[in-house]
Amino acid sequence: MDPTAVNSPDPSTPGTTVDECADLPIHAQRRNSLVFILNHALGYFVAPVFYVGVLHAAILSALGFSDTIANLPESVYMWMTPLPVLIAWFWPSTRHARRILVSTYVIEGLAGLLAAVLFLVTPQWLVVGIVVHSAVIGIANGVVTMCLWELIGRGMTPERRGWTLGITFGVGPLFAVLGSCASQLILNGNFLDLIHVTPVPKPWCYVVLFGTTGPAMAVSAACVFLAHVPRESSVEPSVSVAGVMQGLREYFAYRLILIAICGFLLTSAGGNMILNNLALFVRDTTGEPPDTYTGLQLTLRFGCKSLFGFALGWMLARFDAKTPALATTLICLAGIVWALVVPGKWYLFSFGLLGAGELFYIYYLNYIVGCSAPHRIRENTAYTNVIMIAVSFMPLIYGAISDSYGLRASFFLALGILAGATIIVSTLLPRQPVPSRLDSTNSINPGPL
């Protein structure tokens, strides 16, 4: 992707941060880009563990728990997403960003190591250990996301930010493919009948998978010291009730952000929350245990994400901010249709489509960041993560529907949700994000629709 292909800087557009980036040396912007790319790549590499859902559900299902309990870790993960906003409230200044990032990566690594130990020494507490680990990742991932997006939102020009997103979510998922291939060999010993090794016996296979997150996060923490942290501006949010209320008002009273949030949540509910049931569908289509194809599912999930990542980045550069966001919703819809109509092992390709659709998070968030003032980027990113708690109950609903009416019934519900998202986004959201701004009466101008 040509970095000059993205929209040129515009002082009126939030997120471009022209004033803040005008005197930022190009080598500093490159370092920020490198940190963003490398740390996402490391996160992708340990995706079998950090993407709470499929592996966790397969482990609990193998232990004999119901589909509802198998979906519990992902719901717990979602329930923890409000906590990172406290970081944005109590430490809003950019001078805290490096310390926050390093601390968070260390905590994520320690959580993985602790879970690995539990698999060995206290097998009777595995359910508790898996749920607690999911909770820690739910908090930490939100903190990492808001800090890294602030880094690229305020620490580089729009051209370089567009280039960085294209590389990160085009090349980055390849590391998830590598990690997924390794996890398949560890769990099953066979990858696409191309590679055969002796599988690691249980519980050692889970010890290896969870334990690997420790050194991976140590490297991520070290990378943070390469970043050029954006300097404070004269309009930094204040650590006060008034400052918090003003930020909430700018976020929730702005019509374009609310429309984007609707598309964001509905796409998450229909295209992302259904993945656990999609993994359990292996029992119906192949007659084999759900964890048999976990590694292959993740490989398809992230391999397609890589391919579509370049395509969606091109859409952002060639067309507008709305196009790739809407495309992710349509890709998720296609993934559900594929699972419903394609029989046998070929249904597994639906993981590829839904994996590509998971980039909805990036491109809806990009739209919301485009509607945000530079000093509100971290805060608004945190609010967007918190909003996801509204769909945290969906895995449990899908599990309950599956227990009562079968897995296919849950797929039809997901299909209806995604159809609603498509209608809302295609008809109500402008092609480009319009900055929110306060007029002379101190009310928010919602911008044209």
Residues in the chain predicted with pLDDT less than 70, given as ranges, are 1-23, 63, 92-93, 122-127, 158-159, 190-194, 196, 199, 231-240, 287-292, 294-295, 435-449
| Domains of the chain listed by start with CATH number | 3-437 (1.20.1250.20)
Long-range contacts of 180-184 (CB under 8 A, 24+ apart): 180/47, 180/48, 180/295, 180/296, 180/297, 180/298, 180/299, 180/301, 180/302, 181/295, 181/299, 182/295, 183/48, 183/55, 183/209, 183/294, 183/295, 183/298, 184/294, 184/295, 184/296, 184/298, 184/299
Q: What is the pLDDT of residues 351-394, one digit of tens each?
A: 889 989 989 988 898 888 888 777 777 788 888 877 877 887 88
Task: Write down the pLDDT at residue 134.
Answer: 85
- The total number of residues shown for the chain amounts to 449
Q: What angle do CA 354, 295, 194 make, to 5 degrees?
A: 115
Q: Could you give the CA distance from residue 262 to residue 268 in angstroms, rounded to a whole number? A: 10
Task: Write down the pLDDT at residue 22.
Answer: 45
Query: Would you call 190 exposed, middle or buried from its count of C-beta atoms within 10 A (0-12, 13-18, 19+)?
Result: middle
Q: Could you give the CA distance from residue 367 to residue 261 in angstroms, rounded to a whole number? A: 10
Q: What is the pLDDT of residues 327-348, one digit of tens each?
A: 999 999 999 999 888 877 788 8
Residues 6+ apart with CB under 8 A from 389: 78, 79, 81, 82
Phi, psi of 385 (to 5 degrees): -65, -40
Q: Could you give the CA distance from residue 27 to residue 42 in angstroms, rounded to a whole number? A: 22
The CA radius of gyration of the chain, in Å to the nearest whole number, is 21
The pair of three-digit structure tokens given for residue 90, joined into one six-digit string: 């109590």
Task: Write down the pLDDT at residue 291.
Answer: 63
Q: What is the pLDDT of residues 26-70, one digit of tens each?
A: 888 888 889 999 999 998 888 878 878 777 777 777 767 777 777
Task: Write down the pLDDT at residue 11.
Answer: 36
Task: Write down the pLDDT at residue 349.
Answer: 86
Give the residue among 171, 175, 168 at the shortest CA–CA distance from 148: 168
